[in-house]
Amino acid sequence: MHVETQKVKKILADHKNQKKALIPILQDIQAEYNYLPPEALKIVSQTLALPLIDVVGVATFYRAFSLKPRGKNVVTVCLGTACHVRGGPKILDEFEKKLNIKAGETTKDNHFTLEIVNCLGACALGPITVINKNYFGQMKIKNVDRLIKKFGSAKRS
Amino acid sequence: MPLMKPIVDFEKLKEIRAEILRDRKKRKRTITVCGGTGCHAYGCLKVAQAFQREIKKQRLQNSVEVRITGCHGFCERGPIVVIQPEGIFYQRIKLKDVKEVISKTIKNKKIIDRLLYVDPETNKKIVYEKAVPFYKKQRRIIFGHNGLIDPTEIKDYIAVNGYSALSKVLSRMTPPEVIEEIKNSGLRGRGGAGFPTGSKWEVTAKAPSPVKYIVCNCDEGDPGAYMDRSLLEGNPHSVLEGMLIGAFAIGAQEGYVYVRAEYPIAVENISMAIEQARKYNLLGKNILGSDFSFDVFVSKGAGAFVSGEETALLASIEGKIGVPQQRPPYPAQQGLRGKPTNINNVETWANVPFIINKGASWYSQIGTNGSKGTKIFSLVGKINNTGLVEVPMGMTLREIIFDIGGGIPEGKKFKAVQTGGPSGGCIPQELIDLPIDYESLARAGSIMGSGGMIVMDEDTCMVDVAKYFLNFLRDESCGKCVSCREGTQRMWEIVKNITDGRAKMEDLALLEELAGAVKDASLCGLGQTAANPVLSTLRYFRHEYETHLKQMRCPALVCKEIVGSPCQYICPADQEASTYIALIARGDLAEAYRIIRKDNPLPSVCGRVCNHPCEKVCRASETGEPIAIRALKRFVLDWAASHNLKPSLPSRELKSEKVAVVGAGPAGLSAAYILSLKGYPVTVFEASPVAGGWLALGIPEHRLPRQALQADLDHIRKAGVTIKTNTVLGRDITVSGLFSQGFKAVFIATGAHKSMRLEIPGEEARGVLKGTEYLKKINLGQKAELGRRVAVIGGGNTAIDAARAAMRDPSCQKVMILYRRTREEMPAFSEEVEAAIEEGVDIRFLAAPVKVLTEGGRVIGLECIRMKLGDKDESGRRKPVPLSGSEFKLKLDTVIAAIGERADAGSLTKGESIDISQWETIVTDPETLATNRPGVFAGGDVATGPRTVVEAIGQGKLAAESMAQYLEGVQPVREYKLNRPSLYVEPMELSAEETAKASRPKIPRLTVKDRRLSFREVIQGLNEAQAVREARRCLRCDLETEDGKKAIGKNT
């Protein structure tokens, strides 16, 4: 991933280079690059005069941040309680099987990243899966294959 | 309209409101489209756009408005459209419905029937939103405006009296008066612990600091709760108004709304609301012309559950790692940036404007003694009407779950409700009448939390639920305290071992000890309450833990490692279905035959008449239809018979202790067979002239050809079992007599053949037959005299068998069945019911006989009465209730009573000192099937009451194991093992094409014409190609366990 220093600096400037804005700054960087590239974190550390370890600390503490590049499609399977009792784990199993990756991993062809979330607050639709901000409620195992085909070629690596 | 100008004073606000309302009046109708997250997922935006297009097309812009509103709560039924002012409630609206709604309902005031909600209780269609049962019992105060306003339009909020509470506070009240009002209202924090809000404000207000902050906590992390999301998305201005009032009372200059990252629409809507409020001077300097100044900023979380804790949340706002800090100092003393800070959650803030507007005394009338006002619950999980419900505190769980929630889907049984998220607990079915408030929930071992109510049914495993929460907590523990970081991990490991069938009973004590330690030694709420899910499930569902531990069984069939392949797990005869299916798939039929025979003495029978519980739990049915397991078994048996394949018997050491089995039905034969394989000389005493019990005497040949039974009987005899027929217990032999003849142990398996009486006048007339006796006669080749018109009474398998047999009797012209409930409640196997209907049996549902009509002592008819289904009884079935005045008469020649059978053990074992239950069954220890008399065991229907063939086989096998232990001089103890196959068969690779095409084969049957007057077997077998194809479709759940994965990994 090529990181343009100017782009990161602009994001920092939008937040007035304030230390207290570290989380929104990282959120904006992730929105730009789909993950937090190490180069960008260094720029943040230098600009905010924050030790890199503190920046990385925040980046690794919060679940929403990823230090690894993510696939073109991010599949998020909700495992909140309501989704759990309605069979969410079986949906996750099916995605893992069909994509041949575990939760938290990205397919080799970079088409899909599979993630889990502890609740999306859309419990009435459970079990729910979100693919790139599209919500798919009342998921059934048989829908998994169709969704994978719809969002990209699911290569069995 | 001249909007978006600062509102300079209180009068101006009123003027603007009046102006908005005047403008509104011009348009007569409003189509509100629910824009909550649920409806979003169902495509509500497209529906709203379609409405707008259609209105333009039909030139109705001036009279009809389309408004995307906040969440209506009834997410189950989205997208929801409500037409105002009438309140016409349309649900599950699709794009194609839009045009019709405009042309029919909007233009011509006609209701479109198919878009209405149907009350599942009464099957009636409901027109108005208020009349929908989901809303009827609710008291929607905080949520009241959600469905009326567009959350992105401040004027919508102003139109419903928005910001009038702020206006009142700024113009007429002092900060201490506001605090006093909130204190008097009794409002308690809606985020979890329920701390009194007014008192909380007071502490911060009194803190000596010129700079103070307030925070709105929308880090709604409790999985299963989403009312804060819905409020912030659906009515953000009500939250802002609450914050403004709070800031005024406390003396804060700045506020923060902390929203979790997973709620993008909430972030968008509250940000937009803040922008609009600033433009109106409802935020900023000198609000509404007063000297009060205040502003609000949005802070977005980044996905950490622990950040919902006050101190962690403040750290997160400051851009730091969101871990909790030691308290005191409390945030009210030193909070954000070291300044006094008051934190309340979204719902708490949203309550404030209502209290100010309507007064503390109005508010405190709602609710219970200690808990005032309403509470929003998210009613989710295994419930019919999922959604957000707002009810007064103190409503019972029953009202919430059954009256509002509509009960449990698919008629399943309610098991528990989980409240309070990971810090809460599970409340069992026994406490269904508990009135819900802060105190009652605490007493029940749970907490209110933010109001999640996750309903669980019989298919939920409570140990799995505990594991789920521990997994959540170990994952979300910030790691600061060792007790929490390590404790949640270790607790999870113990519970995981339990769900994997690898734990010991002692582990429970360790788990409880650990739970105490984590609770005592952790800094914040997460750790302090981390044990709650375990403690509350242990408190109410200890038996489920014990079943997992002792028996390695998971009754809900959830725990993967315990269940393994569900087909094998559920089979009372321990048939390794997934193994023989895998062997069929590879074409190894001889080995498949060996596997089937290994565990089942009566497989040819089971391949035909088993009720196949395996197919009911088959996971293939989750994506299509279950594997045709019974047909596959039969195919193997038929194949073996046609190839004259005889299974080899294992070598054994012959023993001297003689064993007697009384009854040659499936239970007796199975016990005899297994004991014989163990080397014991076994004699089976059978009362009737033939062996097989109900298989020979009850089931007609069109279901079970006698050569199939004979094949199994031959095999059992070959194993060394002696069968003596025409020997009746209580007449020809006695238990004591058997012992004196030298038998060392006796197994009683005499079945349950006694027909229950109808208990109506005329029952003794000629022409009234008992179902079991009729079937016995025809199965023994005796003449059963049936008339031309026959009615069978009952809805079980005996009734269906009798009716189908009567259909094959040349003298019968009309056969009907009278059943007092509906087809849904019929206990007979549904495929049998279907076949009976196909063959011309006239089934009259909801009809019961009242009196047998006779003439000269002979049946001439039946007087019957119509029934309707009333309330549910304990079994969960709706009770049939007679409809008075609905009596009717049927002309009949024969009545067959088949309303049920029961055991008759008392008369058979008179004077034998064997305990008999009130149901005339023999009392046994279910673990070993031992009776009270040493050496005497009993099983099958005589012990359990009428059950299925495969259950009887299971009982026989269990008895054989216990008896062998007894004969060896050991106290019988049931041995439990993890459900694993005896061998792992390499899986087949299916092409994508084959997978896509694969489907359950249609099982061939005789045509209805060919069945006429014939007892030829109706169901035909699969051919080899069909069988192999079907077997290849199996998902091979046996390979999903760790053992299975390992085994296959090794083989490849």
> Which of A23, A64, A80 is opposite residue B223, by nearest beta carbon?
A80
Q: State mean pLDDT over B379-387.
A: 92
Nearest residue of A to residue B461, measured between CA atoms: A85
For residue B77, report the phi and psi dihedrals to the nearest 5 degrees: -105, 15
Q: State mean pLDDT over B1031-1047.
A: 93
pLDDT at B647 exceeding the cut of 90: no
Residue contact B475–A118, C-beta within 8 A: yes
Residue contact A85–B221, C-beta within 8 A: no
Task: Tally A–B CB contacts below 8 A.
Answer: 149
How high is the pLDDT of residue A157?
37
- For CA atoms B566, B569, B575, B579, the dihedral sign is positive
A52 touches chain B (CB under 8 A): no
What is the separation of C-alpha B490 from the centre of its chain, rounded to a whole number of angstroms?
A: 29
CA separation for the pair B332, B212 (Å, rounded): 9
Q: What is the mean pLDDT of chain A?
A: 91
Q: Which parts of B120-234 fold into alpha helices (H)?
A: 133-136, 154-159, 164-172, 175-185, 197-206, 227-234
Q: C-alpha distances in angstroms, B266 versus A124, B190, B260, B508, B639?
A: 17, 18, 9, 43, 64
pLDDT at A155 exceeding the cut of 70: no
Question: pLDDT band at residue B2, thresholds of 50, 70 and 90?
Answer: very low
How high is the pLDDT of residue B90?
95
B41 membership: H or E segment, kind and range:
helix B37-41
Residue contact A85–B220, C-beta within 8 A: no
CA separation for the pair B217, A140 (Å, rounded): 34
Q: For an interface test with B, which of A19, A29, A61, A67 has the most B Cβ atoms less than 10 Å from its Cβ? A: A61
- pLDDT tens digits along B310-322: 999 999 999 999 8
CA separation for the pair B1018, B804 (Å, rounded): 11
pLDDT at B639 exceeding the cut of 50: yes
pLDDT at B927 exceeding the cut of 60: yes
What are B255's two structure tokens?
């506020």
- pLDDT tens digits along B493-546: 999 999 999 999 999 999 999 999 999 999 988 899 999 999 999 999 999 999
Q: C-alpha distances in angstroms, B301 versus A44, B258, B589?
A: 19, 7, 60
Question: pLDDT band at residue B575, thresholds of 50, 70 and 90?
Answer: very high
Quick check: B943 and B955 in contact, CB under 8 A? yes
pLDDT at B269 exceeding the cut of 80: yes
- In the block, residue with structure tokens 């030790």: A51
| Beta-strand runs (E) in B45-157 | 64-69, 81-84, 88-90, 117-118, 125-126
How high is the pLDDT of residue B25?
80
- Percentages helix, strand, coil for chain B (3-state, rounded to 5) are 45, 15, 40
Quick check: B434 and B444 in contact, CB under 8 A? yes
Q: State mean pLDDT over B769-779.
A: 95
How high is the pLDDT of residue B39?
86
- State how beta strands A73-78 and B814-818 pair: unpaired
CA separation for the pair B697, B710 (Å, rounded): 13
pLDDT at B1006 exceeding the cut of 60: yes
Count CB atoms within 10 A of the CB of residue A50.
16
How high is the pLDDT of residue B37?
81
What is the separation of C-alpha A47 from the centre of its chain, rounded to a whole number of angstroms?
A: 25
CA separation for the pair B695, B610 (Å, rounded): 11
ipTM attached to this prediction? 0.92
B987 touches chain A (CB under 8 A): no
The residue type of B877 is R
Question: pLDDT band at residue A1, thresholds of 50, 70 and 90?
Answer: low
Q: State mean pLDDT over B560-582.
A: 96
CA separation for the pair B639, B634 (Å, rounded): 8
Q: State mean pLDDT over A56-62.
A: 94
pLDDT at B3 exceeding the cut of 70: no
- pLDDT tens digits along B95-114: 999 999 999 999 998 999 99
How high is the pLDDT of residue B380?
93
> pLDDT higher for A22 or B1052?
A22
Closest by Cα among B242, B432, B238, B206 to B330:
B206
Q: What is the mean pLDDT of chain B?
A: 93
The answer to whether the peptide bond before residue B650 is cis (omega within 30 degrees of 0) is no
- In the block, residue with structure tokens 């008097």: B184
Residue contact A120–B262, C-beta within 8 A: yes
R_g over Cα of chain B:
35
A73 membership: H or E segment, kind and range:
strand A73-78
Contacts of B41 in chain A (CB under 8 A): 122, 125, 128, 135-137
pLDDT at B876 exceeding the cut of 70: no
How high is the pLDDT of residue B4?
61
- pLDDT tens digits along B812-850: 999 999 999 999 889 999 989 999 999 999 999 999 999
How high is the pLDDT of residue A154?
44
The residue type of B300 is K
Residues of chain B with pLDDT > 90: what percent? Answer: 82
CA separation for the pair B922, B489 (Å, rounded): 48
What are B846's two structure tokens?
């909801």
In angstroms, the first-to-last Cα distance of chain A is: 23
Q: State mean pLDDT over B844-858.
A: 95
Quick check: B299 and B321 in contact, CB under 8 A? no
- In the block, residue with structure tokens 């349309």: B90
Q: C-alpha distances in angstroms, B487 versus B166, B221, B505, B516, B784?
A: 47, 21, 19, 10, 72
How high is the pLDDT of residue B163?
95
Half-sphere exposure of B769 (CA within 13 A, CB side): 27
How high is the pLDDT of residue B398?
94
B1010 membership: H or E segment, kind and range:
helix B1008-1011
B256 touches chain A (CB under 8 A): no
The answer to whether the peptide bond before residue B987 is cis (omega within 30 degrees of 0) is no
Residue contact A81–B381, C-beta within 8 A: yes
- State how beta strands B213-218 and B936-938 pair: unpaired
How high is the pLDDT of residue B73?
86
How high is the pLDDT of residue B1049?
79
How high is the pLDDT of residue B1051?
44
CA separation for the pair B745, B678 (Å, rounded): 14
How high is the pLDDT of residue A153?
59
Q: Dihedral of the CA atoms B982, B988, B993, B997 (nearest 10)?
A: -30
* Angstroms from A84 CA to nearest CA on chain B: 8
Residues 6+ apart with CB under 8 A from B278: B284, B295
Contacts of B299 in chain A (CB under 8 A): 23-24
* Angstroms from A91 CA to nearest CA on chain B: 11
Quick check: B870 and B781 in contact, CB under 8 A? no
Residues 6+ apart with CB under 8 A from A126: A78, A80, A82, A83, A86, A88, A137, A138, B380, B381, B386
CA separation for the pair B832, B801 (Å, rounded): 8
The pTM score is 0.90
Q: For an interface test with B, which of A25, A77, A81, A147 has the most B Cβ atoms less than 10 Å from its Cβ? A: A81
Q: State mean pLDDT over B925-946.
A: 96
How high is the pLDDT of residue B875?
66
